Amino acid sequence: MSTTDLLHLAGSSWVIPGPTNIGAVERDGGVYLIDSGNDKDAGRKINRLLNEKGWKLSGIINTHSNADHIGGNDYLQRMTNCRIFATQTEKAFIESPQLEGAFLWGGYTPNEMKNKFFEAKPSRVTDLIRADTEILPGLCAISLPGHYFEMIGVITDDRVAYLGDAMFGATVLEKHPIPYIYDVVRYRETIELIKSLDADYFVISHGEIERDIQSLTALNLQRAADIEGYIMEALGGSGGSHDSGMSLPTQSRSFEEILQFVCNRMAVKLDVAQFALAGNTIRSFLSYLSNCGKIGYQFTDNRMYWTINSVTRYS
Q: Which domains does the chain have, with CATH numbers?
A: 3-166 (3.60.15.10), 230-312 (1.10.10.10)
Q: How far is 1 from 5, CA to CA, in rounded Å?
A: 6
Residues 224/188, Cβ–Cβ less than 8 Å: yes
Q: Could you report the per-residue pLDDT of 141-166, keeping only the tens digit for each?
A: 999 999 999 999 999 999 999 999 99
Nearby residues of 50 by Cβ (< 8 Å), 6 or more positions away: 24, 31, 56, 57
Q: How far is 36 from 154, CA to CA, in rounded Å?
A: 14
Pairing of strands 209-210, 134-136: unpaired
Note the pLDDT of residue 131. 87
Q: Is 302 left (phi over 0), alpha (psi -120 to 50) or beta?
A: left
Pairing of strands 152-156, 160-162: antiparallel
Residues of the chain with pLDDT under 50: 1-2, 240-241, 243-248, 312-315
Entry pTM: 0.93
Q: How far is 63 from 16, CA to CA, in rounded Å?
A: 15
How far separated are the first and last CA of the chain, in Å rounded?
A: 55
Alpha-carbon dihedral sign for residues 232, 238, 241, 246: positive
Note the pLDDT of residue 249. 60
3-state secondary structure of 5: helix
Q: Could you report the per-residue pLDDT of 22-50, keeping only the tens digit for each?
A: 999 999 889 999 999 999 999 999 999 99
The rounded radius of gyration (Å) of the Cα atoms in the chain is 21
Q: In 134-213, which residue ranges form alpha helices assigned H by DSSP?
A: 170-175, 184-195
Q: How far is 116 from 71, CA to CA, in rounded Å?
A: 7
Note the pLDDT of residue 29. 87
Please tell me the chain's helix, strand, coil percentages from 3-state DSSP, rounded to the nearest 5.
40, 20, 40
